[in-house]
Copies of this chain bind each other. A is one copy, B any other.
Amino acid sequence: MNSISNLVSGSPGGDRTDIPAGERPRTLAKDVYARLKQAIFDFRMPPGQRYSEQELCGALEVSRTPLRLALHILAHEGFVANVGGHSAWMVRPLDLAYYEDLYDFRVELEVLAWRRAASHPSAPVLGELVAFWQAPAGQRPLEGHHVAEQDEMFHRTIVGLFGNRAMLRSFDELTDRIRIIRRLDFVSPKRIATTYNEHAALLDAVRDGDADRAERLIRAHIEASRVEIRRLTFHHLSLATSAARQGFQGTGAGS
């Protein structure tokens, strides 16, 4: 039992459901790709830690072929890297300066989308967003993971509706990269409540067609998130890296 033994979380046994008519190419490689990515985002594969293909095969219970496919795509995207020639794979250590860049970019992308949203005359599809984020305080879901998911959806929806496909694709990549630290933002109830309020205000600005106000709000909103993250990250970062350094084996009996 080692540090990555919990990577097997993926498929819970009987996934032999023969698809009747649904288009589901479901390859092992894609599965592995998704699971690895998830493991990275969940800090179950701490940055900096090294993994050989063999041990990853063992942990994920797949052969090398699909694993390598996933690994190479992940590497191409910059999430992992095999440093030297024949060393091993490692999760790219998260570079705080780079996250500043990501947030800067995100601000500009969203400003664009929100300005367009506010300039748009009708926006019927916003109804669902309004329903969720402007719900009475008593009916608001407060569970961290759920809110985080809805938050991602919220921002993505705007970019998708008022940007275009190219912008959305770029935004999705951006979100992917940020996700690993963004999740740390939805832990305290205070932050969650703030998120509800800020989202509600944004929707109001859009409804009023006030692009300038929308821009101001989205800038402030993302900035608040960024500041929060900046603080949390240092905490989590030290935890994760120190845990990785110790091999993460303090949970049970050693080998």
Say yes or no: B19 contacts A98, CB within 8 Å: yes
In A143-177, the 8 Å CB interface with B consists of 163-167, 170, 173-174, 177
A interface SS class = helix
Say yes or no: B69 contacts A105, CB within 8 Å: no
A179 within 8 Å of B by Cβ? no
Task: Give the chain B neighbours of A165 by CB distance below 8 A.
Answer: 98, 101
Closest beta carbon of chain B to A65's beta carbon, Å: 9
Copy number of this protein in the oligomer? 2
Nearest B residue to A97, CB-CB: B165
Closest beta carbon of chain B to A33's beta carbon, Å: 8
A85 within 8 Å of B by Cβ? yes
User: Contact flags (1/0) for A78-109 with B, using CB distance below 8 Å?
Assistant: 10010111000000000100101110110010
Interface residue tally for chain A (C-beta within 8 Å): 34
A23 within 8 Å of B by Cβ? yes
Task: Give the chain B neighbours of A104 by CB distance below 8 A.
Answer: 164, 166-167
Say yes or no: A19 contacts B72, CB within 8 Å: no
A112 within 8 Å of B by Cβ? yes
Nearest B residue to A23, CB-CB: B83
Nearest B residue to A76, CB-CB: B73
A124 within 8 Å of B by Cβ? no
| A19-B78, A20-B81, A78-B18 given; A170·B105 CB < 8 A | yes
A68 within 8 Å of B by Cβ? yes
A28 within 8 Å of B by Cβ? no
| A25-B85, A81-B20 given; A101·B166 CB < 8 A | yes
Nearest B residue to A105, CB-CB: B166
Closest beta carbon of chain B to A95's beta carbon, Å: 8
Task: Give the chain B neighbours of A180 by CB distance below 8 A.
Answer: none
Closest beta carbon of chain B to A157's beta carbon, Å: 17
Docked complex Cα distance between A55 and B141 (Å): 54
7 A-B contacts, Cβ less than 8 Å apart? A19-B78, A19-B98, A23-B84, A25-B85, A73-B73, A100-B164, A101-B166
